[in-house]
Structure 1
Amino acid sequence: MKVGVPTEIKVDEYRVAMTPAGVRELVEAGHEVFVQQGAGNGSAIPDEAYVKQGAKILPDAAAVFGEAEMIVKVKEPQPVEVAMLEPRHLLFTYLHLAADVELTHGLAKTGATCIAYETVEDRNGRLPLLAPMSEVAGKIATQAGAFMLEKPLGGRGILLGGVPGVAAANVLVIGGGVVGYHAAQVAIGMGATVTVFDRSIDRLRDLDVAFDGRADTLYASTLAIEELLPSADLVVGAVLVVGAKAPHVVTRKQLSLMKPQAVLVDVSIDQGGCFETSKPTTHTSPTYEVDGITHYCVANMPGAVPITSTYALTNATLPYTIDLANHGAAAFLAKSPGHRLGLNVANGQVTYEAVAAVAGVPYVTPEEALGL
């Protein structure tokens, strides 16, 4: 199969979807790899490193899309990239379509087969291709939140871990999954007073053991969150409903309960955001203020640390990329229900139920869409 790796063009995105190691594995398996010139520069991977492992460097995205049968990316395709997709293409990338109805309709019109990293599940119902970026985003969330609490950045002027004689900041983490765990872990490490919310009692038990009593865990009822908002200096939103829009766990009305210049970090922004007042921002302009509360809602947080993120992501995606190249989409999706959950759009139809509901189009099963 001919595999194409274009340069990521989303604002402030520096990751790349394949490393030279990935090129080597694909070439040795008998495939051709086409990499856009400069695609790896943001992750400190020069073109020569790809060439050395057997890739062919092409001058622009149009050439990559023109040559390739499978397009491997990091972020969802931007409008100019959607325009280059054809029915013959297999697209493998993060899509987050529940938060982008326009992109959903755009991809359907291309006729391409689109598999989303974030909805592929393993046999245990986990999300193996989302997990590495969730780990990075969770760590960045606390790191960024601590920075935004500094007065020159518009924050309250409080040090997350405090000092002897001065109390540490109060950090609320709403959602105890991979993002929430890593956000809380960093906050604990920085010396903050941490509370983690989740709606799974089993998960809260796991977190109690993992944190060894260094963080409080609470069931994520609306009232429990509301009662702790007045004491919060930093709130990290780490809510995930797989493939669907995130629910709002903090409303605009509830912002009035919070301290002036407290900080909200919304890691769920790719899925529409879990705070009512959230809207996507960029690394260049990461924050805005609503009712005196600082909001940090960068839609590609891991893109700020591309060397770490690129290698973490490609370690996870490479086996799936090789599988797709070796066997094609139909055989890949036929492997398991978890593989089929990765398919979001195919042959002009939406094949992920939660995305179809948001987009207002009929849901078609992967089996029907591809005739599996």
Structure 2
Amino acid sequence: MRIGVPREIKIHEYRVGIVPANVRELTERRHEVIVETGAGAGIGASDDDYLGAGATIVATARAVFDAAELIVKVKEPQAIERAWLRPGQILFTYLHLAPDPQQARELIASGATCIAYETVTADDGSLPLLAPMSEVAGRLSVQAGAYFLEKAHGGRGILLGGVPGVAPAKVVVIGGGVVGTHAIEVAVGMGAEVWVLDRNLETLRRLWARFGRSLNTVFSTHDAIAHHCAEADLVIGAVLLAGAAAPKLITRDMVRNMKPGAVIVDVAIDQGGCCETSRPTTHDDPVYVEEGVIHYCVANMPGAVPNTSAYALNNATLPYIIALADQGLDALQQHRHLLNGLNVHRGMVTHAPVAEALGYDFVTPEEALGF
């Protein structure tokens, strides 16, 4: 199969869909990998590195899209890239369609087969292609929050871990999944007073067992979120409903009642955000102030650390890329968890939460593919 790897063009996105080592894995299986020049520059991978792994280098993204049967990216295709997709082509990347009706419309119109990393599943119900980036984003969320809590950056002027004789910052993590767990680990390690809210008691038990008395666990209700946000210096929004729009658990009134100069880091912004006052930002302009509270809502947080996140992502995606390259769409019939990643196929919406969020008719993946 001809596999295309374009350079990412989202603002300050330095990751790459396939690293040179994984190109070699594919070319040794007699697949052709076509890489846009400079695609790996953000992680220090040169065109020569790709050539040495057996790739073909082309001058433009358009040449990649025109030649490839399978396009492998990191972030959702931008408008110009969506215009290049065609019927019968496979796109494999993060999509996050629920809060993005324009992207959904254009992918549907393209006739392409679009498989989303974030809805591919595993036997235990986890999301193996979302997990590595959730780990990175969870850790980055505390770094970002600590930075913007500094007075010079508009924050309250409080040190996350405090010092002897001075209380630490209160960090509230809403959601105890992968993002939340890694945010807690960093916040606890920095010496903050850390609270986590979740509606799953087993999740709270797991976190209690892991972190002990360094972590305060609370069953999540509207009143509990309101109370703890009002006391927080830093709130991490770590909520996820796979493929669906994030629920708005933090209301504008809750934000209004927070301390002036407190910080919200809404990691759920890829799925629309879990805070009513959240809107997507970029690494160029990462924050804004609403109701006196600093909001950090960068939709591609792991792009800030591409040397870590690109390799972590590639470690997870390689088996699925090999399956698609070896078997084409038959891979979806052979691998039910990969089938769960199918969001759009030949003009049909094949992921139920996306269809519900955007008002499309839902067609089961099996029906759409004729299995």
TM-score scaled by length of structure 2: 0.99
Amino acid at match of 1:360: G
SS in 2 for 1:33: strand
**What is aligned with 2:345?**
346
CA offsets 1:60-97 (integer angstroms, 9 cap, x no match): 00100111000000000000000000002100000000
1:149-168 paired onto structure 2 within 5 Å: 149-168=149-168
Deviates further, 1-10 or 208-217: 208-217
Amino acid at match of 1:84: W
2:97 matches 1:134: no
2:327 matches 1:361: no
SS in 2 for 1:97: coil
Deviates further, 341-350 or 357-366: 357-366
RMSD value over aligned CA atoms? 0.8
- TM-aligned CA deviation for residue 319 of structure 1: 0.8
Could you list the runs of 5+ residues in structure 1 that have no partner in the other structure?
none
Structure 1 stretches of at least 4 aligned residues deviating more than 4 Å after TM superposition: none
Equivalent-residue separation in structure 1 for 2:364 and 2:225 (angstroms)? 37
Contact 1:101–1:358, Cα closer than 8 Å, also in 2:
no
CA offsets 1:247-287 (integer angstroms, 9 cap, x no match): 01111111122111100000000000000000000111100
- TM-aligned CA deviation for residue 210 of structure 1: 1.0
Equivalent-residue separation in structure 2 for 1:175 and 1:75 (angstroms)? 24
Equivalent-residue separation in structure 2 for 1:64 and 1:340 (angstroms)? 25
The alignment covers a number of residue pairs equal to: 371
CA offsets 1:221-250 (integer angstroms, 9 cap, x no match): 111111112210000000000000000111
Contact 1:171–1:232, Cα closer than 8 Å, also in 2:
yes
Amino acid at match of 2:361: P
**What is aligned with 2:117?**
117
Contact 2:320–2:338, Cα closer than 8 Å, also in 1:
no
SS in 2 for 1:161: coil
Amino acid at match of 2:351: Y
**What is aligned with 1:318?**
318
- TM-aligned CA deviation for residue 44 of structure 1: 1.0
- TM-aligned CA deviation for residue 337 of structure 1: 3.5
Deviates further, 139-148 or 349-358: 349-358
- TM-aligned CA deviation for residue 339 of structure 1: 2.1
- TM-aligned CA deviation for residue 139 of structure 1: 0.2
SS in 2 for 1:289: strand
Equivalent-residue separation in structure 2 for 1:100 and 1:121 (angstroms)? 22
**What is aligned with 1:9?**
9
Equivalent-residue separation in structure 2 for 1:101 and 1:213 (angstroms)? 44
Equivalent-residue separation in structure 1 for 2:192 and 2:331 (angstroms)? 45
Contact 2:230–2:254, Cα closer than 8 Å, also in 1:
no
SS in 2 for 1:218: strand
CA offsets 1:179-206 (integer angstroms, 9 cap, x no match): 0000011000000000011111011100
1:259-278 paired onto structure 2 within 5 Å: 259-278=259-278
**What is aligned with 2:98?**
98
Contact 1:8–1:73, Cα closer than 8 Å, also in 2:
yes
Contact 1:160–1:168, Cα closer than 8 Å, also in 2:
yes
Amino acid at match of 2:53: Q
**What is aligned with 2:301?**
301
- TM-aligned CA deviation for residue 336 of structure 1: 4.2
SS in 2 for 1:338: helix
Amino acid at match of 1:332: A
TM-score scaled by length of structure 1: 0.99
Matched-pair identity in %: 58
- TM-aligned CA deviation for residue 335 of structure 1: 2.6
Amino acid at match of 2:268: S
- TM-aligned CA deviation for residue 32 of structure 1: 0.2
**What is aligned with 1:200?**
200
Equivalent-residue separation in structure 2 for 1:64 and 1:158 (angstroms)? 48
**What is aligned with 2:369?**
370
Equivalent-residue separation in structure 2 for 1:115 and 1:256 (angstroms)? 39
- TM-aligned CA deviation for residue 360 of structure 1: 1.4
- TM-aligned CA deviation for residue 332 of structure 1: 1.6
